[in-house]
Each structure stands twice: as structure tokens, then as C-alpha cells.
Amino acid sequence: MARCYNENHMYYSYYGGRGITVCDEWHDFDTFCNDMGERPEGCSLDRIDGDLGYCLSNCRWATAKEQANNRSNNTILEAFGKSKTLSQWAHEQEKKREVLSQRIRNGRSVETAV
């Protein structure tokens, strides 16, 4: 709530400052809890679409890894008809992220790098 509504919050510009809001229903904490359920261990609240606000249809409990792959500053790489972050490709291919990154920087296509 503070990030969305308190202009003095250090991250306000990334949330409320760019139009991210909390649905009216979730201004009541009990309603939020009823909608989202108990927070699973190792998870925190994540917006599925980072350009939309906090509401039941756009929120989920996610791990730090899931949230890192959902950041707006990720570069999405396309290969084999799929779109994934570099980290997701590396994990899927059991390669180090840095290896794939270096291959791409050296001029290989994403598909060749992967």
C-alpha cells in the first residue's frame, strides 16, 4: 500500500508514480487474506502483469526466482518458438547463465547459444 499511495516512499515512483494501485477490496486486509489465502513458505506477493495493479486476477504467491523472471527489466529471448529470460533458458538447458550470455555477446544466435 505504501509503495502505491505514499509519495514519500522510496519506491513510490516504481509503483504509484506509474499508476500501480491496489483494488478497493484489498484496502481491507481481511478481504485480501480471504482472497489470497495464507502465504506459502518462501513466497511473497507477485503481480502477474507488472503493468497492472494489485487485485485477485493479477496476483499470485511466487518464489524469489519466479519473481526475478517476471521483472520488467528482463530481456526476453526467443528460440524454438518459445520466449524466456536468459536465466530460464540457462536453467532449462542446465547451463550457466553466464555461458549463454557470453555466447550471445560473441555473435551466436539465441538458438545456437542455447
Burial zone of 9 (CB within 10 Å; 0-12 exposed, 13-18 middle, 19+ buried): middle
| Residue pair 48/60 in contact by the 8 Å Cβ criterion | yes
CB atoms under 10 Å from CB of 30, counted, come to 8
| Residue pair 36/48 in contact by the 8 Å Cβ criterion | no
pLDDT, position 66: 87
For residues 20 and 1, what is the distance between their CA atoms, to the nearest angstrom?
A: 10
User: pLDDT by residue (tens digit) across 36-57?
Assistant: 999 999 999 999 998 899 999 9
Q: Tell me the pLDDT band of 94, cut-offs 50, 70 and 90.
A: confident
pLDDT, position 86: 83
User: pLDDT by residue (tens digit) across 15-38?
Assistant: 999 999 999 999 999 999 999 999
pLDDT, position 40: 97
